[in-house]
């Protein structure tokens, strides 16, 4: 993400998945990253902060073409400026609460902003699977398309954005993500710390 943000040749970014899933798979019940020590978790803490900070630090518009289920870290495509999805797309947080972990690595920041606080808490605490149709109804996806048309539509949208002057695109991206940057700055580190404490404290239960 950092390298993308630093490359001044980039004008518009299209983000999509490389396989049948946009992101996944669902983790096993034994999935516990960084559970060996505070030092091991510190690496995840730093990488977790960098991931969303660097994503929001990209100063050109981002289009997410969600080409299938986003079962882990669905907040990443949903932070894009334009989100389109295939008909078989799904959105879920399969890695955290329902798998015995605190949803503190960004889901707790992004999903309440996108879904509203009550709906987001339900989503995070129940492992709700949101279909593409529901995601459009909730306002977190702008368009749903057949999978074979998704990439073409993403490029069509990119060409539309490219009609505007470079600084107009860049400064629009900056101003439209500033409130997200502020929330991530204030809450992400705290959430990651609590997630780590939850994992490292399992031996005390």
Active site (catalytic) residues: 75
Q: In the structure encoding, which two tokens stand for residue 66, read together?
A: 């969600």
Alpha carbon distance 120, 70 (integer Å):
16
The secondary structure of the chain as a DSSP string is -HHHHH-TT---EEEE-SSSSSB--PPPTT--TT-S-HHHHHHHHHHHHHHHHHHHT--S-EEEEE-S-B-S-THHHHTSSEEEEETT-EE---SSGGGTS--TTTHHHHHHHHH-HHHHHHHHHHT--EEHHHHHHHTS-SEEE-HHHHHHHHHHHHHHHTTS-HHHHHHHHHHHHHHHHHHHHHHHHHHHHHHHHHHHGGGG-
């Amino acid at each position: 993400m950092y390298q993308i943000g630093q490359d001044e040749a980039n004008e518009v970014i299209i983000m999509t998945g490389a396989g049948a899933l946009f992101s996944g798979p669902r983790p096993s019940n034994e999935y516990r990253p960084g559970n060996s020590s505070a030092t091991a978790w510190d690496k995840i803490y730093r990488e977790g902060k960098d991931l969303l900070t660097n994503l929001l630090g990209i100063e050109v518009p981002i289009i997410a073409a969600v080409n299938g289920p986003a079962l882990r870290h669905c907040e990443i495509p949903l932070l894009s400026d334009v989100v389109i999805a295939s008909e078989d797309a799904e959105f879920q947080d399969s890695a955290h609460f329902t798998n015995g972990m605190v949803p503190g690595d960004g889901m707790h920041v992004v999903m309440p902003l996108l879904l509203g606080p009550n709906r987001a808490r339900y989503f995070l605490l129940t492992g709700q699977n949101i279909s593409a149709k529901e995601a459009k109804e909730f306002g977190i996806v702008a368009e749903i398309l057949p999978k074979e048309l998704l990439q073409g539509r993403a490029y069509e949208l990119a060409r539309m954005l490219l009609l505007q002057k470079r600084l107009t695109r860049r400064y629009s991206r900056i101003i439209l993500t500033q409130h997200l940057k502020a929330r991530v700055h204030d809450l992400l580190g705290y959430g990651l710390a609590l997630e780590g404490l939850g994992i490292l404290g399992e031996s005390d239960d």
